[in-house]
Amino acid sequence: MDDYLSHNRAHWNARTPAHLQSDFYDVEGWLAGKDSLREIELALLPADLTGLRLLHLQCHFGQDTLSLARRGAIVTGVDLSNAAIAAARDLAERAGLDARFICCDLYSLPDHLDETFDLVFTSYGTIGWLPDIGRWAEIVRRYLRPDGTFVFAEFHPFVWLWNEDRTAIQYGYFGGQPIVEDVEGSYTDKSEGVRGKMISWDHPVSSVIGALLERGLRLETFEEYDYAPYDCFPDTVRVGEQRWQLKQLPGLIPLTYALRMRG
């Protein structure tokens, strides 16, 4: 637990080269013009991002960050993994896009950045790496200008409760305790050689929304979805364009949720 940052950084450093080569991220297709953003977050973002200053928290190697730059935003991406941030800078150069990337753990961002933004954005597989959702909400509040917009899309905590074959609940919905796992592979193809320890936490939806409300953000939109926009689980069935459900629980549980809030 005390060393969660170093374990998780090392694991994401190991994942990054595999992800860059994967069909899942399709970097070459993206460089040719393919958009990496999904309908859930696009429905919550402004239609015109031109000139808006945007902070992307936990951006991995910056593919979504740079997709937002393509839409006209002035982007800053932040991630724990130094390998991912190096890849993000290289990807920006290859794509001919202006972007700033900062390598640090999320909670220490105020030591590296002293600005506010029109938009703060974060999506899919982010808050589970953070032990304290209140401190996360403080970071969101710190970087959002008055009346700015926060857009958040995430996998629903229901996804993480199950045992491996989805026949029983293994973890409590209300979380609180660190989940320590020795893992092999990742959620993408070409990740078979990735091994390491990762430490994560489950955060109920009420804790996420409550932490943001307590810090003065105003809820505009909240939605739950019965599909995931990525085929990132080993037991999914495709039910539409960029839509997957768990084959054991098709349409029965929420797989993602999203919200938009105002500062």
What pLDDT, on the 0 to 100 scale, is given for residue 1?
53
Give CA–CA dist 230/128, Å, rounded: 17
pLDDT > 90 fraction of the chain, expressed in percent and rounded: 86
pLDDT tens figures, 94-135 = 999 999 999 999 999 999 999 999 999 999 999 999 999 999
Quick one: average pLDDT of 147-164? 94
pLDDT tens figures, 165-203 = 889 999 889 987 899 989 888 888 878 888 889 999 999
Q: For all residues of the chain together, what is the average pLDDT? A: 95
- Cβ pair 201, 178 in contact under 8 A: yes
Q: Which two tokens mark 180?
A: 């320590």
What pLDDT, on the 0 to 100 scale, is given for residue 252?
94
Quick one: average pLDDT of 65-87? 98
* Confidence at 2, pLDDT banded by 50, 70, 90: low
Burial code (b: 16+ CB inside 10 Å, e: under 16) for 113-122 equals beeebbbbbb
What pLDDT, on the 0 to 100 scale, is given for residue 190?
78
- The fold of 4-262 is Rossmann fold (3.40.50)
Locate the domains of the chain by residue range.
Answer: 4-262
Question: Does residue 212 register a pLDDT over 90?
Answer: yes
CB atoms within 10 A of CB 111: 9
